[in-house]
Amino acid sequence: MISDCSIMSSSVPQPPRWWADRPTGEGDLRILLVCGRLAWSTSTRHAFSLAKGLLALEHQVQLVGFPGPAIERFRKLGIEVYDFHGSWFPYRRLIGFLREYSPDVVHAVGGKGALTIATRIARNIESPLIHTVHSWLANDRTLRLPRNIAGVIAVNQDLRENLVNSLGVKKSLVRVIPYGIEDPGPIPVQLPITERIPTIGTIGRLVPGRRLDDFLNAARLISDQLGEVLFPILGEGPDEGRLRRVCRKLDLEGSVTFAEPPASLDAVYGSFDLFVLVSDWGGVGVHLLEGMVRGKSVIATGGGDVLSFLGEEGICELVPPGEPDLLARASLDLLADPARGEKIGLRAREHVLQHYPAREMLAQTEAFYASLRETAHA
């Protein structure tokens, strides 16, 4: 059954840190965000940032998605969250609720599943449809946009070029709106790494293409050098069972922990001494930037969309994909030189605050929504 339409929490999201600088005025946009499974993925993280920011700007937001571990985070924002069911009667009820809501824009926030659902909804309720593309994984390269698409958001210029040149998407349809990352405030002081067990962590969906085998093989090499090291893998997904078997084969069961990320981002990243991101192509941008803005030393594979988020040297350690020995060496070098790691982390934080401010992402997205509403009502 589809969830009834009650608001699950009356809590009001706290305004972002930049809110005091915004001119006062009541927002009047009605936005429907459509996600796939509400898990700890880049698209879900981006949807949450959008929802929180749009509410702070006093717009109305509702969300449709498949239930997942992140669903309660959205409900705690005080928005109506609809569980999507493809069967006829629940879907008919959903469309009735959404026609009454009458969103100005239906925004598929990422993934083919979200786009399929959003396309169907937008046609039924006759609202403009847009889609955000986050990565250039194999599924993205076979993307077919529906005829009723009103616009596409690419999170970086490289993705825009791929959409236009490889998929033939019209240039006029694609807008580049980079991610927006909220400033979490001062970096907490930690005990010296010599006085505690080092922690090297990673975050993301546990799916093929993330190269988490590289992370596990590097963990084995690091443990052989240092002894006791913790390696939390925060995420869930269909590849978890296989990865657990790899852990057993490498005799890492006492060092590697699989867990769903906690609700607090600060709790997630604050526990890491080093933050490692390994991926073939794409889908790690939000996690990368969220770690960097918290002053973490980040080690990432140099393939995929990682390079498009950096733009300068000295803010992230890059290693080639498929080279766990180099990943281990980069980790060992940073653990052996905490001052260098701190310097990299501070430069990374400044880079994110300068190039990926939350207020800019929201301002551009808000303007895009408003232009689509104006066109639809012309």
In a domain, 4, yes or no: no
Kindly state whether residues 238 and 270 are assigned to the same domain: yes
Between 210 and 176, name the one with better pLDDT. 176
Which of left, alpha, beta for 73 (phi over 0: left; psi -120 to 50: alpha)?
Answer: alpha
Q: What is the pTM of this model?
A: 0.84
| Sheet containing 297-301, strands listed edge to edge, beginning at the edge strand earlier in sequence | 256-259, 231-234, 200-203, 274-277, 297-301, 317-319
Model confidence at 5: pLDDT above 60: no
| Sheet containing 174-176, strands listed edge to edge, beginning at the edge strand earlier in sequence | 80-83, 60-66, 30-37, 105-108, 129-133, 149-154, 174-176
Which of left, alpha, beta for 295 (phi over 0: left; psi -120 to 50: alpha)?
Answer: left
Which range among 55-69, 112-126, 291-305, 357-371 shows the weakest confidence by mean pLDDT? 291-305
Model confidence at 334: pLDDT above 70: yes
Which range among 121-130, 161-170, 248-257 shows the weakest confidence by mean pLDDT? 161-170
Place 284 in a pLDDT band, splitting at 50, 70 and 90: low
Model confidence at 377: pLDDT above 80: no
Model confidence at 316: pLDDT above 90: no
Place 310 in a pLDDT band, splitting at 50, 70 and 90: low
Kindly state whether residues 53 and 155 are assigned to the same domain: yes
Question: What angle in degrees, to the nearest 10, is found between the helix axes of 338-355 and 285-293?
Answer: 120
Kindly state whether residues 198 and 85 are assigned to the same domain: no
CB 201 within 8 A of CB 271: yes
Kindly state whether residues 361 and 334 are assigned to the same domain: no
Model confidence at 142: pLDDT above 90: no
- Report strand pairing: 105-108 vs 200-203: unpaired
Contacts of residue 213, defined as CB under 8 A and 6 or more positions apart, other chains included, come to 243, 246, 324
The chain-wide mean pLDDT, for the chain, equals: 85
pLDDT confidence of residue 18: 44
Place 139 in a pLDDT band, splitting at 50, 70 and 90: low
The dihedral over CA atoms of 266, 329, 236, 47, expressed in degrees to the nearest 10, equals 50
Q: How far is CA 93 from the centre of its chain?
A: 30
Kindly state whether residues 106 and 247 are assigned to the same domain: no
Q: Which two tokens stand for residue 139?
A: 């599924």
pLDDT confidence of residue 282: 56
In a domain, 2, yes or no: no
Place 138 in a pLDDT band, splitting at 50, 70 and 90: low
- Quickly list H helices, the chain: 42-56, 71-75, 88-101, 112-125, 157-167, 212-226, 240-249, 265-270, 285-293, 306-310, 324-336, 338-355, 358-377
Model confidence at 281: pLDDT above 60: no
Kindly state whether residues 78 and 143 are assigned to the same domain: yes
Which of left, alpha, beta for 280 (phi over 0: left; psi -120 to 50: alpha)?
Answer: alpha
Report, in angstroms and rounded to the nearest whole number, the Rg of the chain calculated over CA atoms: 21
Domain CATH number, residue 38: 3.40.50.2000
Kindly state whether residues 160 and 252 are assigned to the same domain: no
pLDDT confidence of residue 7: 32
Kindly state whether residues 64 and 27 are assigned to the same domain: yes
Model confidence at 312: pLDDT above 80: no
% of residues, the chain, pLDDT over 70: 86
Kindly state whether residues 215 and 259 are assigned to the same domain: yes
- Report strand pairing: 297-301 vs 274-277: parallel
Model confidence at 165: pLDDT above 50: yes
Owning domain of residue 132: 19-180+357-377
In a domain, 7, yes or no: no
CA distance 135 to 280: 11
In a domain, 9, yes or no: no
In a domain, 149, yes or no: yes
Q: Which of 27, 82, 75, 25 is nearest to 53 (CA)?
A: 27
Kindly state whether residues 107 and 124 are assigned to the same domain: yes
Which of left, alpha, beta for 204 (phi over 0: left; psi -120 to 50: alpha)?
Answer: left
Q: What is the length of the chain?
A: 378
- How wide is the angle at C-alpha 143 spanned by C-alphas 2 and 153, nearest 5°? 80
pLDDT confidence of residue 69: 80
% of residues, the chain, pLDDT over 90: 55
In a domain, 211, yes or no: yes
> Average pLDDT, stretch 5-30?
49
Model confidence at 220: pLDDT above 80: yes
CA distance 207 to 212: 9
Model confidence at 58: pLDDT above 80: yes
CA distance 192 to 154: 40
Cα dihedral across residues 212, 216, 218, 219: positive or negative: positive
Per residue in 335-359, pLDDT (tens digit) is 999 999 999 999 999 999 998 999 9
Kindly state whether residues 165 and 25 are assigned to the same domain: yes
Kindly state whether residues 159 and 51 are assigned to the same domain: yes
pLDDT confidence of residue 10: 34
Model confidence at 64: pLDDT above 60: yes
In a domain, 5, yes or no: no
Q: How many helices (H) and strands (E) does the chain have?
A: 13, 13
How many structural domains comprise the chain?
Answer: 2
In a domain, 13, yes or no: no
pLDDT confidence of residue 19: 44
pLDDT confidence of residue 326: 96
Query: Which residue carries 């770690």 as its tokens?
Result: 291
CA distance 6 to 272: 38
